[in-house]
Amino acid sequence: MAQLLGLILLSLFITGILLIPFIDFLYKMKLRRVKQKTVDMFDKPTPTFDKFNNWKAGTPFGGGILIIAVVCILTFWAYGILETKVNAWQLFVIMVTFIGFGLLGFYDDLKKLVPGHKVFFGLRFRHKFIIQWILALVIGAILYFQLGYSYIFIWGFGLASLGYLFIPFAAFVIVSFANAFNIADGLDGLASGLLLICLAAFLAITSNQLDQPLGIFVAVLMGSVGAFLYFNIYKARIWLGDVGALSLGAVLAVIGLLTGKIIALAFIGGVFVIEIASSLIQILAKKFLHRKVFLASPFHLLLQKIGWDEPKIVMRAWLLGFLFAILGLYIAFIN
């Protein structure tokens, strides 16, 4: 555990030092949000979001690029210096998820810089969603065929084998958390702060399971996200961008899958679940009932709509996330 805590501090220090020149670099590269009408992940206009967030125009995004780079380099360095025996397929799953979803998110970030949101092949959400599923299914197949994952623990019933169904199930978990994180990343410090809480919970789980390779990755990621959060809290000097949101959400899901604590993952990431559930309910209600269930969605935007200040929403979400993490840890340790 002392080594993992040391890695957290090292990662936090290195990322914190690099973030200041990196923010300046993003300004020079003009990777920053401009004041314009935006669209959501389903290519729909978001007037409510624009109303509360257009004042943030000019803030650079792309912090996820630095996090991915630092975490990958430090993780490989730590494996070598600590002489850690790593399952090659486990490492492959983590890195493919982290970098693969990051590249997909980077495409979305590039779209924000081009008038009319057209870049390269002009992919719409449904196309990107299909790519997410293909990537997630590949990851699920590796988990099943190469790492032997096929069981989930159902509280009160015990272990249940899903067989080949584990592959689409794992893909569903990965895609859901990737998009849930992306949806939650709408307020300064909200998603990154919640992720830090989730990672702390999974560091406890990996330590309890004596899974040093996964624990090293979680520790390095914790430190990097912690340093980023310092610059991301209200009023943010930098945002993750989709490159960070999609990669971090997907890799959180994979961490949960690799620990075998999938039910605990749903509780530990409970606020993310609420965020995506509120958006899904709103979408289905408008499609089939032709009316809204909520004044606005996702849930954090609803709270803004009814008059809550942004810092108040974020801090109370962190508190709720902490409570969910405790509940998730309780579930993880009793089964």
pLDDT 10s digits, 43-76: 555 666 656 566 567 788 889 999 999 999 999 9
Least confident of 20-34, 183-197, 220-234, 272-286: 20-34
The continuous run of DSSP H or E covering 152 comes out as: strand 151-154
The pLDDT value recorded for residue 49 is 60
Where does the pLDDT of residue 152 fall: very low under 50, low under 70, confident under 90, or very high at 90 and above?
confident
Contact 268, 256 (CB under 8 A): yes
- CA 296, CA 318: separation in Å to the nearest integer? 21
The pLDDT value recorded for residue 165 is 94
Least confident of 20-24, 118-122, 282-286, 320-324: 118-122
Percent residues over pLDDT 70 in the chain: 87
Q: What is the pTM of this model?
A: 0.91
Residue 106 corresponds to which tokens in the numbers above?
């980077």
Least confident of 38-47, 68-77, 92-101: 38-47
The pLDDT value recorded for residue 210 is 87
The count of domains in the chain is: 1
| Confidence check: pLDDT of 88 > 70 | yes
Q: How many residues does the chain have?
A: 335
Give the range of the structural domain holding residue 164, as residue numbers without chain letter: 2-334
Kindly report the backbone phi and psi dihedral angles of residue 239, in degrees, each rounded to the nearest multiple of 5, phi listed first: -115, 160
Average pLDDT, the chain: 88
The pLDDT value recorded for residue 289 is 80
What is the chain's percent helix, strand, coil content, to nearest 5?
A: 75, 5, 25
Using DSSP's 3-state secondary structure scheme, residue 154 falls into strand
The pLDDT value recorded for residue 51 is 64
Where does the pLDDT of residue 309 fall: very low under 50, low under 70, confident under 90, or very high at 90 and above?
very high
Residues β-bridged to residue 161: 151
Kindly report the backbone phi and psi dihedral angles of residue 7, in degrees, each rounded to the nearest multiple of 5, phi listed first: -65, -35
The continuous run of DSSP H or E covering 160 comes out as: strand 158-161
Task: Answer with the residue of higher pLDDT: 303 or 156.
Answer: 303
